[in-house]
Each structure stands twice: as C-alpha cells, then as structure tokens.
Amino acid sequence: MNDSKSVRVLLINPPPHQIVEPYYDTPDYPRTALAFLAGHLRASGVVVDVCDCKFDRLDYDQGMEKVRSFRPTIVGFTAFTNEIKPAAVFAERVKSHDPSITTVIGSVHVTALPEETVREFPQFDYGVVGEGEETLLELVNQVTNHEEVTAKGVAYLVDGKNYRFTGTRAPLADQDGLRPAWDLFRPAAEYVLQTSRGCPFACNFCMNPGGRIVRPRTVETTLNEIAWLVENMKPKTILFGDEIFTINRERTADICRGMVERGLHKKISWWCQTHVSTIDEEVVHLMKEANCSTVGLGIETGDEEKLKKMGKGTSIPKIIEAIRIMKKVRLRFNTFFILGQPNETYESAKNTIDFAVKLNPTIPVFGLMVPYPGTEVAAMAQRGEGGYKLLTTDWNDYNKQIGNAMTLAGVTRSELERLQILGYLKVFILNFRFVDLCKFLFKYRNEGLAVLKKQLIRS
C-alpha cells in the first residue's frame, strides 16, 4: 500500500431490522466475519476498527457516532440476505454524513446477487463477491491510491449505470495465514470460531458460499486461537462455526485430544454442527471428553425421498444410527428440521414432526424453508417448481421463523407455522419432558410470541 496512513477502514455489522431471534439479532458473540477481515487488513498495515451493532446493542444513531469518531475513509458492511436492507439504511446514513466515504458490502447476499445488489442499493459503491479478505485488501489499496478497481471479486456500477464484475477470485487455500482480530471487540460470553471453510455436500436450500472443497486451518492454529481467547477474553463457551466440524475425523480427534492435553476442556465448553454420516462412537467419546456440550445435527426432513433429492448425502438409517451413538455416549444433541420442502404437503410435514418425536433430541429446531438467493430452492421458486410460489423479494421477509418470502401449493404458510408450533409441543409432550418444555418456552418466548402474533393477525 502506497498511502496506508491515510486510509481508515471501519467494518460494520448493522443493527437488526427487528428482534425476533435474540440469539442472532442480539447475540452474545461478535461477528466472526468482521474479526477475520479486520485482522487481515491490520496485518497489512491498514488502520481498521469494527462496529458490531448487534453485539454491542447499538441502533443507527449510536452506530453513526462510531463513524463520526473514527473518521473512516472506507466503510465495509457485512450482511446476510435478511440483513441487507439494514446495511443499506446504515450506508445511506454514512453517505449523508460524508459523501466522500467509500462504502463496500460483502457476505453471502451480494455474492449470490452481485449485480442486483449494487443496482438495488446504490448506497454501496462496491460489492465484494466471495471470500472477502484478499479482495477487500486489494480494493482498499486501489481506492486509496485512486487506481482503477481491478481486484478480482468486485462488483460495481460505472457512472451509476454500467455493471462491471472484475472476475471470480479463487478461494483462499491457506487458512492459517488469517488471524482474526478478536481484540477489537469487547470480551464476549461466546465466540464463533471458523476453523474450516467449505462443505462437500450440495443441499438444495444452502448456497454453500465456502465451496465444495473443505479448507481447514491446522490443529495447532485452532488450539492456539482457543487458548488465546480463554486467556485473554475468558468466554463461557465456543461454537465451532464450521459447516461440518467432524468432516475430517482425524483432525477432529486431534483437536479434542489437544484441548484435553492443554487443559482447555476444564476452562471452556463448546458446541458444533456436523453431518450424521461423519461421526462414530469413538470420535463422539473424544468430543465429550474435551467438554463438548452439544452437537447440532441437520436432519431437515423425515421423508426418505426428500432426503435423496435435497443433495444432503444422508438417509433415515444413517440418521437413526447417529442418534443412537449420541444417546449411548450421552452427549446432548440438537436437531434441525426444515418444514416446506419441495412438494411438501401437510401430511409429509407431519411425518417430519413424528420423526422428530422418535429421535427425541435435546432441543428440536423447526425452521421454515426460505428461498435464499443462490440456492436451488430459490431457483425453483423463481420457476414455480416444487409447489413453490415466490411472494416477495423484500429481503426483510427472508427470516426462517416469521418470514413470508414464499408459499407452497401443498400446504399454506399459515398451516406450516401451526405445524412449526405443533412440532415443538409434540417432541416434548409425547416424550413426557414437561420440565424441558417449560424451560424451552421460557427461553424462546420472543420467537414464539412473534409466530403467534402472525397467526392472530392472519385469523
């Protein structure tokens, strides 16, 4: 960088549109993407700071105070699909405050819809498509030095009219060179660690922004990051944000053994998400020994034919075997289901709920299918296939709990929402877990009230 002293980059996670799911809308963990981006910029000599409005409970006015005090030359935003409009609102305020500030949007929404995003939201000068670390650094260099933007992975409009995309950037192979800047955030109760990127499966409801090739960080780097957080930030728990934590069995085993050898298992608990076909009894034992508290398993549906068609690479027998192992080892597990599969009917959705009752997870999670841009489900909804009908591209409606992005021919949205409520009740009640039900209803009362409110409005 020729003029690194003059550039100041502020990375922002915007406030939520509304608080529906507190775990995501008012999290107790900082945004991992900001930590990775800030760390990479800082390592290259860029003056950088973060403004995590969700984590720090900041509204737009309070967020703008951070902008005024930091005096950035470039402001970068991160946004999933249901966050893109709040990011645009914030970017508009930044531009009104100082039109000379360059605004950049990154993450999965702009990656799925690059041209549509920069056209729909002219508040963003540039969109970063794909993994952001190298692209953002090169973009910052070129903007700062008033050069033509040629960095791979950038989408923008020339003169506000003609769309330009600089080309796809190859995924970053060396994940160990990245050092998240956790010190830029206040200490948190929880941290989401991304120790690998990518997923080899091709689920129809997932965009899989990390690609089909899994790129892990080394065991040593992972353990060092955990140790640093434990010593300096003293969190209560860690979530491994990897798509499939146990995809590499030996690596998982080495991480667990390393946590025990370093005594980290006595200082922190952790949880993860994984695929039912990638676990066995030995590795689950190691995970429990390393103080894993919970494993999240993506089950999605109780219909064998739908499982075959969704690209998840699983089956009912594989699911049942994985649950048997979890119960034998006595490791808590949550199961994730999606109601509203292609050609879903009221009966097939009820079958999924009955399957959830049979599995009897620690916590069942019933989401409603959302046609996220870049997924096969979104393409089906656009074509009117699978019984889907797209209702809106108001991105604020793209929420799994109370969103209203599409409807189905075989079952109405209102029926799906009632089934969603029924699912939770049946898993606990039919397994005689009345105390667990009371705890669950109290913990997720905000989400439940939001769904019930929608039902009352419709009736």
Instruction: State mean pLDDT over 12-24.
Output: 91
287: in domain = yes
Give the tens place of pLDDT for each residue, 342-369.
999 999 999 999 999 999 999 999 999 9
Give the tens place of pLDDT for each residue, 32-44.
999 999 999 999 9
| 48 vs 55: CA distance, rounded Å | 18
Does 337 share its domain with 406? Answer: yes
Token pair for 118: 């920069």
Does 295 share its domain with 442? Answer: yes
Give the tens place of pLDDT for each residue, 187-244.
999 999 999 999 999 999 999 999 999 999 999 999 999 999 999 999 999 999 999 9
Q: Range of 46's domain?
A: 8-165
Does 159 share its domain with 199? Answer: no
Give the β-pairing of 102-106 and 74-78: parallel
- For 2, counting Cβ atoms within 10 Å of its Cβ (0-12 exposed, 13-18 middle, 19+ buried), the class is exposed
Does 449 share its domain with 360? Answer: yes
416: in domain = yes
Residue 93, number of CB atoms within 10 A of its CB = 15
Q: Which residue has the tokens 């991105």?
A: 395
Give the β-pairing of 215-216 and 196-197: antiparallel
173: in domain = no
Token pair for 103: 């605004």
Supply the CATH number for residue 43's domain: 3.40.50.280
Does 153 share its domain with 195? Answer: no
Helix (H) or strand (E) holding 274: strand 269-274
Residue 250, number of CB atoms within 10 A of its CB = 9
| DSSP strands (E only) in 159-248 | 162-165, 190-193, 196-197, 215-216, 237-240
Which comes out higher in pLDDT, residue 102 or 313? Answer: 102
Instruction: Confirm if 371 and 381 have CB atoms less than 8 A apart.
Output: yes
| 13 vs 440: CA distance, rounded Å | 29
Does 150 share its domain with 245? Answer: no
Give the β-pairing of 388-390 and 406-408: antiparallel
Give me the phi and psi of 326, to 5 degrees please.
-60, -40
Does 223 share its domain with 137? Answer: no
The residue out of 122, 150, 165 marking a domain boundary is 165
Supply the CATH number for residue 229's domain: 3.20.20.70
Does 118 share its domain with 212? Answer: no
182: in domain = no
Give the chain's mean pLDDT: 94
172: in domain = no
Does 291 share its domain with 342? Answer: yes
| 73 vs 314: CA distance, rounded Å | 48
181: in domain = no
Which pTM does this prediction carry? 0.94
Does 148 share its domain with 199? Answer: no
Q: Which residue has the tokens 């549509």?
A: 116
In 195-268, which residue ranges form alpha helices assigned H by DSSP? 219-232, 249-261
Residue 159, number of CB atoms within 10 A of its CB = 5
End-to-end alpha carbon distance in the chain: 60
Which pLDDT belongs to residue 455? 60
Angle at 75 between CA 370 and CA 59, to 5 degrees: 65
* Cα-based distances in Å from 62 to 52, 54, 56, 68, 384: 11, 12, 10, 10, 43
Instruction: State mean pLDDT over 117-146.
Output: 97
Token pair for 336: 């994730």
Which pLDDT belongs to residue 450? 67
Q: Which residue has the tokens 């900082």?
A: 30
Does 92 share its domain with 143? Answer: yes
Which pLDDT belongs to residue 319? 97
Let me know how long the chain is: 459
| 99 vs 115: CA distance, rounded Å | 22
Q: Is the pLDDT of residue 22 over 80?
A: yes
170: in domain = no
| 299 vs 315: CA distance, rounded Å | 9
Token pair for 426: 């049946």
Which pLDDT belongs to residue 6? 83
Report how many domains make up the chain: 2
Q: Is the pLDDT of residue 4 over 50?
A: no
Which pLDDT belongs to residue 413? 85
| 389 vs 387: CA distance, rounded Å | 7
Does 142 share its domain with 288? Answer: no
**pLDDT band with cut points at 50, 70 and 90 for residue 452:** low
176: in domain = no
In 262-315, which residue ranges form alpha helices assigned H by DSSP? 281-289, 304-309
